[in-house]
Structure 1
Amino acid sequence: MSARARSIWGWGYEDSAIGPAEAAAAAPGVEALFGFPAQAPEEAVPFAEADVPAPQAQPPDGELGAICSTERRDRALHARGSSYLDTIRAFRGHYPHPPDFVARPANEGQVEALLEWAGAGRVAVIPYGGGTSVVGGVEPDVPDGYNGTCSLDLGALDRVVEVDGISRAALIEAGAAGPRLEEQLAAQGMTMRFYPQSFECSTLGGWIATRAGGHFATRATHVDDLVESVRAITPAGAWESRRLPGSGAGPSPDRMLLGSEGTLGVITRAWVRVQPRPEHRAGRSVRFPDFAAGVEASRELAQSGLDPANCRLIDELEAQQTGSGDGSSALLVLGFESTDAPVEHDLARALEVCASHGGQWDEPSGEAGAAGAWREAFLRMPYLRDMLVQLGVMADTFETAITWERFPAFHEQVAGAVRDALGEPCRVTCRFTHLYPDGPAPYYTVIVPARRGDEVAQWHEMKEAAGMAILAAGGTITHHHAVGRDHRPWYDEQRPEPFAAALGAAKRELDPAGILNPGVLVG
């Protein structure tokens, strides 16, 4: 069976993309959803007419060169991630920073050899998993002083190497995308149970490198909580932590690689915690009279010790936009799951909490209910974003985290700053993706008519307003999207200066030539 073709300008795969005819048919519904009409449908610039600068450097000779590609489409696919900025530029036929070549190693030896070659020739190397970064993390936009750029695609390293059923852990190669990873685990009766929205295309190595957030709304919210040990190839040598359930032996080596975004080494494999598929599930969709009531219920649930697997609060507008509500109520998608015991008692207690804050719910009706509608919209959202691009609508997201006592003022300040920057009509919706006893992780969606021909500047205005407001109000520049190049200015402001110096020292020790993803995190 032939491999599915990735979309050249949008999210995911060509065979799942929303084409011009389908987008045009959806245009009349835009005003009902967003309060402003769609613009005349446009089609993407044909790739044959796109601006893809020619390579300025050649790949290595010999056996190493055999794993490299300078093919135009290949370079364009590796020139970008999956943010709105990436998408609109590709839609307009602009690929400003394609790599000079793409390397696809089949083993660690080839990774090591390529890093040695690149270090000697001062060629920048950008590790690449599934290309789902929404923060410029895989774009080969590097500072001056490099003699070329290489996108290091780990897709060939995609095996589940070993499963330890006794300890419930699996050794998995970094290039395994979500579906491929789960397919192999399922054959041995296990699951990682980690489902970011990018699951269709993103990889284990990318999850670890960006500290991705996954399926669970509480407890194991980040991939950090599932990592047992990590192996990476650095220019200074192989890095492999000891496989342990926990350790108090000084600063954690895994913690240094988690979130390193390809700047310290190339993650090649990891032991991660797995489990049997849950046999017991129970959930409800709870309506609240307003978002504030849902916030209070969410806080009490997060502090109750019940630890629901799903506890995602969606404001009134987002509930309407996703077809899971009529716009009059906020919605809490609540769910519990277990591998070995019924969870109805936990759900009943959680519903008592919701009722005390004005929550109401109907008896479950399978996937056809509000939770099912939201789930389907959640999985389809990246493709729907591409449809809106064709209709002249800018749709982008940003996320953060803040403590509970500061959230009300934070929410008003951040959403207001974005609306002020973009002007009317502009919709800023909010949902909670993850909850902690001390605070939520708010996730914002921005919907506004695109300034056609000036979308890049419009996006920068939104990003600047959001970043400045988030830090001014005390939040983090990212909860699970990572830093990349897009968030770098605010990350530099957020982190303590002594930590920045320590991270820079680690970078110089592990990557003395500075070839790994330059411009991200440090340097």
Structure 2
Amino acid sequence: MSGTTAPRSTRDRSWWGWGWADAHPDDAECGALGALVPGTLARPLPVPEVADLHIGSPAVQAPRSLAPLVTYDPRPRAAHAMGKAYRDVARALRGRPGRIPDLVAHPTCDRHVADLLEWAAEREVAVIPYGGGSSVVGGVEYRGQAHRAVLSLDLTAMDRILEIDTVSRAARIQAGILGPALEARLRPHDLTLRHFPQSFEFSTLGGWLATRAGGHYATVHTHIDDFAQSLSVVTPAGTSASWRLPASGAGPSPDRLFLGSEGSLGVITEAWMRLQERPRYKASASVSFADLHAALPAVRALAQSDLAPANCRLLDPGEAALSGAARDGRAVLVLGFESPTAPVDERLGQALDLARAHGGRPDPDPAGSRASEDSAVGAWRSAFLRMPYLRDGLARMGAVAETFETATTWDRLPALIDAVRQEVGAAALRATGHPAMVNCRLTHVYPDGAAPYFTVIAGGRPGDEVAVWDDLKAVASDVLHRHRATITHHHAVGRDHRPHYDLQRPDPFALALHAVKQALDPQGVLNPGVLVGD
């Protein structure tokens, strides 16, 4: 099969915050959220308007041959100026979004991408590859001074599934397709990519590949890397198209060069992706523990077993209360299993037995294929999808609501969690004069370690929220580095993580990466400042 085109949504995306414009908390809900956090504003900041930014004329005009692909309209330019981190939302609310792109391009084929890159190199125009714009690490904005203009290269018009090979169970897919559209086109074939990050609704295949995105599934195939069979990447030096193979030992992998390159080495335009049968059997349950540390041995035992749960999220008491999964001061482990071929109740039962043997208290009523919304599993699912909108509501109240994630080995994990809670909490108190909520959950688990994900909520300093965020980010990053935990498990490097990424990577690898950047992008126009360069 070939040539299937993705359906498009008619809802409006928010230009300044997360997700759909009509899904944001209203003023009353924002006020109720702010009342829960000491030191917030008396009333919410107004929803920002593009007209208030007074966006000027572009510094360059595209040539006539490229004119049909580009727009200079202020609204798309504003929407493409930054990602969706708290830092981005806070700047937009204060009318300081940073450098606005001079133009936004929507190529529909590889030739368009190549022509745009060639023109940009000739005119010293920075090119920022852009998928769904859901970056939370400064990955889609320009912070430099060296380029005369900025082009945001939006890939979402390249949104087709070009081929589906049901025999080998793979598909050739354009990089600009959004998550829901991708799954909708695979569903008639009873196939799935089975990659569901929290940003699934608002992110693209190309963005997942460029950032080595992590999905919802907690074990085994946790990252998009595992599903990539081959890539096609347009660079200023030419197009790299790897062979479609199940596996290869022929030298260093060309695909690994571009996976995680964040648009700094080339623009991923399409990929052959490995698919799976859609799951038919599901079962889930929750288990409570006295606290997070008490639950760690049970989670480690699960990760080191052969049970391979699809969901294995451990929520500390604060995170459990915030999501509505529990309000009794106990930690909650959310477990889920699924399979396309056989019932999974026995595997869930074995997991519950294992958790019980480590001091866990299983929910007396495990859920079947659909967890009810009033169960711990159902409450967590609802909160998981709603949380980014609530973060933006807190931002309108002047609160600082930051999340960051990492990964480390099991032997280092308890000390890391304690250090983050203590040092980030103390930094928030110093910066704002108000105590902070510092919660933790485990999002992904492996036989040799786990990925803790932290949420920090504190009252801000009115008008100075970004400076508070910068302080907390620096303290958190220093703690991670000191404990030899990665600066990012699945959020990518972008510009926000760049200083500590430079500290984490080996020096010889840095030299090689700089050389590759110079070879593939000699004019330095591709996403300047990400991974390499200034």
Q: Structure 1-normalised TM-score?
A: 0.96
Name structure 2 gaps, 5 residues minimum: 1-7
Partner of 2:110: 108
Question: 1:193-217 CA deviation, whole Å, 9 max, x = no partner?
Answer: 1110001100000000000000210
Taking structure 1 as reference, are residues 482 and 335 closer, same or farther at Cα in structure 2, changes over 3 Å only?
same
Counterpart-to-counterpart distance in 2, 1:47 and 1:522: 34
Question: Which residue is 1:419 aligned to?
Answer: 425
Q: Partner of 2:200: helix, strand, or coil? A: coil
After superposition, the Cα gap between the structure-2 partners of 1:291 and 1:48, relative to the gap in structure 1 and judged at 3 Å, is: closer
Work out whether residues 53 and 95 of structure 1, in 8 Å CA contact, stay in contact via their aligned partners in 2.
no
Alpha-carbon separation, structure 1, partners of 2:102 and 2:490: 30
Q: Is the 8 A contact 2:40 2:398 kept in 1?
A: yes
Tell me which amino acid in the other structure corresponds to 1:119: A
**Corresponding residue of 1:83:** 85
Check conservation: 1:52, 1:94, Cα contact below 8 A: no
Q: What's 1:94 paired with? A: 96
Is the 1:59–1:68 contact (alpha carbons within 8 Å) kept by the matching residues of 2?
no
> What are the superposed Cα offsets for residues 129-148 of structure 1, whole Å, 9 maximum, x if unpaired?
00100000001222x32121
- The code of the aligned residue for 1:213 comes to G
Residues 109-156 of structure 1, C-alpha deviation per residue, up to 9 Å, x if partnerless?
Answer: 1111000111111111000000100000001222x3212110000010
Deviations 1:259-281 (A, max 9, x none): 00000100001111111210111
Give the 3 Å change call, closer, same or farther, for CA 9–303 of structure 1 in structure 2. Answer: same
Distance in 1 of aligned mates of 2:411 and 2:455: 22
The letter for the 1-side match of 2:25 is: I
- Give 1:409's aligned amino acid: A
Q: Deviation of residue 56 (structure 1)?
A: 4.7
The one-letter code sitting in structure 1 at the alignment partner of 2:407 is A
Confirm whether residue 521 of structure 1 aligns to residue 531 of structure 2: yes
Name the SS of the counterpart of 1:200 in structure 2. Answer: helix
Render the CA deviation track for 1:84-108: whole Å, top value 9, x for unaligned: 0000111112222111110111111
Deviation at 1:43, TM superposition (A): 3.1
Q: Give the corresponding residue for 1:388.
A: 394
Structure 1 residue 433 displacement after superposition: 0.7
How far the C-alpha of 1:434 sits from its partner, in A, is 0.4
1:475-510 per-residue CA deviation (whole Å, 9 max, x = no partner) reads 000000000000000000110111000001111111
Q: Can you list the C-alpha shifts for 1:49-85, whole angstroms capped at 9, x where unaligned?
A: 5335424522312130221111111111000100000
In structure 1, distance between residues paired with 2:10 and 2:107: 18
Residue in 2 aligned with 1:318?
Answer: 319
The 3-state SS of whatever aligns with 1:405 is coil
Unaligned runs of 5+ in 1: none
Partner of 1:69: 71
Counterpart code for 2:41: Q
Would you say 1:379 and 2:385 are equivalent positions? Answer: yes
Instruction: Check the 8 A contact 1:432/1:443 in 2, yes or no.
Output: yes
2:366 pairs, out of 326, 347, 364, with 364
1:7 aligned onto 2:14: yes
What are the superposed Cα offsets for residues 357-379 of structure 1, whole Å, 9 maximum, x if unpaired?
A: 11112213532210110011001
Q: Partners in 2 of 1:13 and 1:414 — Cα distance?
A: 32
Partner of 1:207: 208
Q: 2:48 and 2:40 mapped to 1: Cα distance?
A: 22
Is the CA contact (8 Å cut-off) linking 1:104 and 1:154 kept in structure 2?
A: yes
Q: Is the 8 A contact 1:231 1:269 kept in 2?
A: yes
Kept after mapping to 1: 8 A contact 2:304/2:447:
yes
- Counterpart contact for 1:52–1:98, Cα < 8 Å: no
RMSD: 1.5
1:154 corresponds to: 155
Evaluate the alpha carbon distance shift between residue 298 and residue 48 of structure 1 in structure 2; reply closer, same or farther with a 3 A threshold: closer
Alignment match, 2:192: 191
Q: Whole-Å Cα distance in 2 between the matches of residues 327 and 520 of structure 1?
A: 44
Q: Give the Cα–Cα distance (whole angstroms) in 2 for the partners of residues 147 and 266 of structure 1.
A: 21
1:163-202 aligned at under 5 Å gives the runs 163-202=164-203
Contact 2:45/2:397, CA 8 A, preserved across alignment: no
Aligned pair partner of 2:520 in 494, 502, 510:
510
Stretches (4+) displaced over 4 A: none
**TM-score, length of structure 2 as denominator length:** 0.94
Maintained 8 Å contact 1:27/1:38: no
Aligned residue pair count: 517
SS at match of 2:273: strand
Structure-2 residue corresponding to 1:492: 502
Matches for 1:257-268 after TM superposition, within 5 Å: 257-268=258-269
Aligned mates of 1:46, 1:303 — CA distance in 2: 48
Alignment-mate amino acid for residue 40 of structure 1 = A
| 2:307 aligned with 1:306 | yes
Q: SS at the partner of 2:477? A: helix
